[in-house]
Amino acid sequence: MRVIHDVDTMQGLARTRYGQVSTALVPTMGALHEGHLSLIRLAHDRAEQVDVTIFVNPTQFGPGEDLEQYPRPLEDDLAACRREGVTTVFCPQAGQMYAGDHSTLIAESVVSEGLCGRFRAGHFDGVVTVVAKLFNIMLPTVAVFGQKDYQQVCVIQRMVRDLAFPVEIVVAPIVREADGLAMSSRNRTLGADERARALALSQGLMQARADVAGGERDARRLEQALSRALGKAGLQVQYAACVDADTLAPVRAVVRPTLFAVAALVGQTRLIDNVILQPRVE
């Protein structure tokens, strides 16, 4: 496995193999967990070589967010990549990715607006900019992202379509702990009591899924029930929203596959989760 830290070396390597061998990219911010490993395994099914990027991207963190606290266990991450048969890991320092006077950002202006976009100004501009840059450096055939960051996937799909990036986007299902909590690098910052209370997120979403399977269609009632359950568990809800699974526009009734997405603070840790609600066929 090659571990590369600088942009020129990585891009040079990517250029020598471009068109000769198919590559699948798994972009990450490190602190790899089973969820990331599932992306790497899916990537192996989709291409001859698998690349992983590990970069805690400063431009997607707002003031007061957890950029400094974000876990960075690089040696453990490299060992995990080795075990998973990764071909190349690209792990640059911020100075490699952004010149001191960098002044170009990509902005998506429709699907990035609601949900997390309302609470994290500029976040998705930072995400699409770094993903575009990583695509230009790594030159992947396909790139794999997780459904837990559903809105992120939608924004990246728009960017790829609108700017004609020759990269296929593959979406992998959410991986959950045995008790249902969606896997996230941020879970490791939860204390024991917070970890227990965080379960309200997945439990509330599963309850909504059961309610919809049982005939519930009213989006507002579902949103209120989830917000109440999270409040009771001591979580600070940012949003609990039923939106169209393609456009992310709010819906009033669950009459076709609908994304039910949630974000809440558990202590200082911001967690997100989602499910697709499938309306009962009458």
DSSP designation for 250: B
27 vs 140 by CB, closer to ligand PAF: 27
**Residue 202 contacts residue 176 (beta carbons within 8 Å):** yes
* Minimum gap (Å) between residue 259 Cβ and ligand PAF: 17
Dihedral angle of Cα 53, 55, 56, 62, to the nearest 10 degrees: -90
Q: Among 31, 39, 127, 248, which residue sits at the site for ligand PAF (rule: CB under 6 A)?
A: 127
| Binding to ligand PAF, residues 198-237 (CB under 6 A) | none
Q: Among 50, 86, 130, 139, which residue sits at the site for ligand PAF (rule: CB under 6 A)?
A: 130
* Residue 128 binds ligand PAF (CB under 6 A): no
| 36 part of the active site | yes
* Residue 40 binds ligand PAF (CB under 6 A): no
* Minimum gap (Å) between residue 27 Cβ and ligand PAF: 4
* Residue 149 binds ligand PAF (CB under 6 A): yes
Q: Which of 5, 36, 44, 123 is catalytic?
A: 36
Nearest to 60 by CA among 90, 24, 27, 26: 27
* Minimum gap (Å) between residue 185 Cβ and ligand PAF: 8
What DSSP string describes 112-180?
A: TSSTHHHHSTTHHHHHHHHHHHHHHHH--SEEEEEGGGHHHHHHHHHHHHHTT-S-EEEEEPPPB-TTS
* Minimum gap (Å) between residue 58 Cβ and ligand PAF: 10
CB atoms within 10 A of CB 93: 10
Nearest to 89 by CA among 102, 101, 98, 80: 80
Q: Which residues bind ligand PAF (CB under 6 A)?
A: 27-29, 57, 60, 127, 130-131, 149, 152
- Return the active site residues: 36
